[in-house]
Structure 1
Amino acid sequence: MKLSVIGCGYLGAVHAAAMAKLGHEVVGIDTDAEKIAKLAAGSAPFHEPGLQELLADGIAAGRLRFTTDITEAADARVHFVAVGTPQLADGDGADLRYVHGAIESLRPVLRPGALVVGKSTVPVGTAAVLVDRIAETGASLAWNPEFLREGFAVADTLTPDRIVYGVVDDADAGLLDEVYRAALEAGTPRIVTDLATAELVKTAANAFLATKISFINAMAEIAEVTGADVTTLADAIGHDARIGRRFLNAGIGFGGGCLPKDIRAFTARAEELGRAESVAFLRQVDAINLRRRERVVEHAIELLGGSVFTRRIAVLGLTFKPDSDDIRDSPALDVAARLYGLGADVVATDPHGIDNSRAKHPQLEYVADVGDALRGAELAVLVTEWAAYRELDPRRTAELMAVPRIIDARNALDPASWKAAGFEYRGLGRS
């Protein structure tokens, strides 16, 4: 089937490459000429494991191409809209200008019988505004939310854990079945619903995950003042099948381009709908999450005797999670900037996040090698749990540092091993 993907950022580039892998003929379209040039050359414009190979395979097979010319989407049967929906600069709501812009750009090239499929995360009710604009062209609209995890996006697209269609016409569900035939034949659950429910599925899922993370971080706050250990607590309650252990890792909290802005947009949309009280708890979820960053800074101040001024601190990690170069709303980069703002001599490192971090915070000192970051430091702060940092040798690390102190802001290390090597160790919510 001929497909177009409008918007070739993180979501769109992965989706286009994955659809080509499934055998479809795909054209990816974006207004960013530099990004399109990289993609057309088979070069991923961001770090995502497996994407580079997927791009190269699709381009070599002649099934995948990229352009800035929207007219090249004219012969596609299905058009996926995968543009960003960032937080508004002056509020908590989602900025939908890119969604509306993509639809308006598509309208002149849509043919009767074509299907426009929204993949962007949007406030519930957005599709209802767009459906008539699409219908005027003889095409129809569906919503097919994405559930990608950065670092696992390729696998999550090729072998999703569920596929959700929001449709107006059942025939559109049949067309999407052709797109996702391989996943459906492999037994992936398929849920067909209305447009509003499909929109709500993604925002509700992210709200639930954010709530679960902030819940365990709230327990970490209690654990710190009572001497309890939040990691053991999470293990114990995680054995309850109704709760589960996943997303119960206490630490510095969540970040990235999805959870923070999505829960804020959800809250803003509920207020517009006159149901602010229904999701009022998400304000606390957000507040708990942001408080964790300040707690890491407080630990640093405590460990360094009341002030971080002119003290050399190694910050290990800059991206919001490992296996990504994404620094959007990154707790790690935020902590590095806060420590610098207090006068600390911050030396930061990350396997893939330095370039993006330097563009946002050029005032920080960056080094590529973790050993260079640790050398002479009076404190190390592990804020992104890259494997290279989880696997650091405590004794070798102590030899590099001026004073062996570490804050494990992801609770990713074995406290006993680090204490045995002479470290003053601080986890979050760990006794």
Structure 2
Amino acid sequence: MTISKKALCAALLAATAFPAGMVILPASAQEAQVAWALPAQDLATTLRAIGREGGREILFADADVRGRQAPAVQGRLTAEQAVRHALEGSGLVVEEQAGALVVRVRPQADEDETAGTAITVTGTRIRGATGPSPVIVMTRRGLEEQGIPDMTGVSRIIPQNFTGGQNPGVAGGGDQGGYNNLNNATTLNLRGLGSDATLTLINGHRLPYDAVNQGVDISTIPLLALERIEVIADGASALYGSDAVGGVANILLRRDYSGVLASARIGASTEGGNVQQQYSGIGGARWADGGFMAAIDYSKATPIYADDRSYSSGLTPSQMLSTGSRQVSFVLAGHQDLASWISFELDAELADRRSRKGNAFTVSAPVTTFGQLSLPGLPRRLETLRVGDAIADGASYREMAIALYGEERVRAEWQGRSDFLMTRVRRRATEAKAMAAGGWRALLRR
């Protein structure tokens, strides 16, 4: 048989054109339908049955399907169609990857990526721009890990804060960086420009100043109520006004706290005085469009007197090396969405603090001036000797106190908030017993 060259070329062209025009169907289109009769049961069991009877590889995580139920699968369907039917209402989706059916959790919408992240705008007038000043963020958990028991300690760990200003740990009357801490407050003093040059906010809201030095006392806020503190340690008067020349501190409270929590702290110095007690509690609730939080804190600290320490025993015993204080503070915060365009917010604070300072002056009778107590300079050894005589006569501690300080003062202070008189008489009694047991010899050697 003779085949012409022209006919051979035409045959080859036809052979190459035919495969190029073929339509290759995907695996899902070529998959045969199967008659299914699976009852409503556990989703994992249904998926395994579809994979076994349909001849398809189905991949899924046990944690994703655990506890989920699949509806009944009936009728003639492909394996992929049967899987989609079994996943209806489960929140799971199926995708084909490399010939296998992969079941996974439905991805969240783009807007949910930032859900749950609270953004508090402290202040800005520039849209879409980042502030030039760095922001120092301190969380409550981070403060607790550092051993900070209250907000008073926060002011001492901020590097830019001038801690020589208002400091409740310093006995009053002294000039502390230009500020007389008459009310034992703890105010932020960034850059040392004064507490009135540092703007302190609570949940972005301004607070009224206290009566002295125009500062906001942060020690009245229970640490349990704190979420975090954001500090701008540079001048921000362009955004907030002249009271933010030194910087801004925004104290954010735990508005959405749910549950009840209580804590207690007790400590004392081994050489006497400085007995500290702190009891705190917080409670709150949260609902779909609002929530509230309430926290209360009670703290008490006894003073350290001059005769509690050997290095200051030559001073008048009424001189205090550290102050005595008692404070009760309460904080309430809440919010409620009234509509999509309006919400109600509440931040309230109530505090009662009483502090006692003792600076010794030369007086002939007890004198209290602006909260500072001055006692007559009765020598310590003379008190000890008089108490020793009273012990020998069988007198009680109260009778000893009356003999030393007068009946009127004992009547007013013996059962009062301060245990100064009772502690002092007991200390003198201990010294008198030690002196009678041979301690008087040490006085002769001086």
| TM-score bin (small chain) | under 0.3
Structure with more relative contact order (C-alpha pairs < 8 Å, separation 6 or more): 1
TM-score, normalised to structure 1's length?
0.24
TM-score, normalised to structure 2's length?
0.23
Larger helix proportion, structure 1 or 2?
1
Who wins on radius of gyration, i.e. which is larger? 2
Larger strand proportion, structure 1 or 2?
2
